[in-house]
Amino acid sequence: MKTDLSHAVQRFQETFLSFEIDSIKTQAQKLLDAGITIQGFLSACMPCMEEIGRKFEAGEYYLPQLVVAGEMFKTASREIRSVLTEENSGRPLDQIVLGTPAGDIHDLGKDIFAVLAEASGFKIHNLGVDVKPETFVKKLKETGASVLGLSSLLTTTFESICNIVDLLSEEGLRKQTFVIIGGGVTEKSLIEKLFVDAQTRDAYEGINLIRNYIRTGKKEPVV
């Protein structure tokens, strides 16, 4: 069984890295048949995305390859989402306002996080991509959510995160809002630099950090 899974992962990654978009759905189904978990799926995809990103940075790949990579990830994750089994415990849902800040249109990681957080019992208000600070604040006020999740894939848009945090302070919402950032270009050092409360590049860790905040009410940064 294990051999089946590692063979399926290998085939999936080969298909991904050679941009065989027409075969990606079949290969994702084979991962499912071999018993892959969501976490296993992410571990299979991330090295491919990173490799394609590295080649793009090095000038070996161009925008079309990034676009195809995004489409393949979307197709494969649609198949894999069906394995989600975590159950909501039935308690009132804690709410998370989520989005990609202004200037950035990447949404694959954000949407994966949204699916996993929803499956873990959170109510997600997903505002999409290229979201203005005012829109985040409006939604936080409207819903009374105490968690703001921001997904960031472009270093050039860190300023947008600062603008959101500033607006939260101006509107008197900063203290009662747990601001967590995620996404491929983020790192722990940004917690201090951008005045946020937590950072992760791992959706599951993000859910644990949020759960911890909701349980304890403490915003201790895990550095």
Which CB sits closer to ligand B12, 40 or 53? 53
What does the alpha-carbon distance between residue 184 and residue 123 come to, in Å, rounded to a whole number?
A: 24
What does the alpha-carbon distance between residue 72 and residue 39 come to, in Å, rounded to a whole number?
A: 17
Smallest gap, in angstroms, from Cβ of residue 47 to ligand B12? 10
Smallest gap, in angstroms, from Cβ of residue 217 to ligand B12? 19
Q: Is 36 in the site for ligand B12 (CB under 6 A)?
A: no
Which CB sits closer to ligand B12, 8 or 147? 147
Binding mask 95-134 for ligand B12 (x = CB under 6 A): --------xxxxxxxx-xx---------------------
Mark the segment that binds ligand B12 (CB under 6 A) among 2-10, 18-26, 79-87, 181-189: 181-189
Q: Cα 209 from chain centroid?
A: 14
Q: Is 155 in the site for ligand B12 (CB under 6 A)?
A: yes
Which CB sits closer to ligand B12, 108 or 140? 108
Which CB sits closer to ligand B12, 40 or 103? 103
Given the rule CB under 6 A, which residues bind ligand B12? 42, 49-50, 52-53, 56-57, 63, 66-67, 69-70, 73, 103-110, 112-113, 149-151, 153-156, 180, 182-185, 200-203, 206
